[in-house]
Amino acid sequence: MIDTDEALPILPRELTDLPDAVRRVGPPQIPDIDAPYAARLVDPDTDAEMISEWMNLPHLAQAWEYAWPPERWRLYLKAQLAGTFSRPFLTSRKGEDIGYVELYRAAKDSIATRYDAHPHDLGMHAAIADTKLVNRGIAPLMLPRLLKDMFAREPECRRVMFDPDHRNIGARRLVEYVGCSFLGEHRMANRTMALYVFPRTPEDVPAHK
């Protein structure tokens, strides 16, 4: 059991040695998706149990490796909300919660060591909880709407990054389908990622290191 009075955990991918231009950038903005979809900021106290239940489902436990109990999720969500690195939110369809998404500042993330990052770059991790909706065309419909709104809310953002595990064929096909450019496979501390970018303009495709 995690002690509820312990300090909030350090987010494992967040970089701490940052140039001032990166450090000064605020947290990601929560998108406002067109109906019938919607997005809202996570409430750790009321949403942690549901997110924990989702992330312990076999398809998400394998893809995310975050099959944690509710209390650990509550602390992890609070740690995100306490800083400027990332923001967790829930997506819904026709008023029903269907997915969990994290937006993060890519220049503050470990992936920044693998490409030419800009301070306002965003990164995204997303999960659809309901297995009845997986591979049913929901993600290809929702993701372009998310990307459109993210660029509208973040005028200085040049690109959105995706970093699925190199073995996650479904996620790779999705980001390729919506038009992301591939920046190669990169060995990280605990995995090999496939790095992708969705640029605001073709000129915003970065070089990888």
> What is the rounded distance in angstroms from the CA atom of residue 197 to the CA atom of residue 186?
14
Q: Which residues contact 144 (CB under 8 A, 6 or more apart)?
A: 178
Q: Is the pTM of this model over 0.85?
A: yes
pLDDT digits (tens, 9 = 90+) for 100-144: 999 999 999 999 999 999 999 999 999 988 766 666 567 788 889
Q: Between the CA of residue 30 and those of 90, 121, 149, what are the distances in Å?
A: 10, 15, 9
Q: Would the CA dihedral through 72, 101, 103, 14 be positive or negative?
A: positive
20 is catalytic: no
pLDDT tens, residue by residue, 27-70? 999 998 888 889 999 999 999 999 999 999 998 988 888 999 99
CATH number at 26-204: 3.40.630.30
- Helix/strand/coil for 123: strand
Cα 78 to Cα 87: distance, rounded to the nearest angstrom: 10
Q: Which entry of 47, 109, 121, 163 is annotated as an active-site residue? A: 163
| Cβ contacts of 123 within 8 Å, gap of 6 or more | 103, 104, 105, 106, 109, 111, 160, 161, 162, 163
Pick from 8-12, 179-183, 202-206: least confident: 8-12
Q: How far apart are CA 142 and CA 149, in angstroms?
A: 11
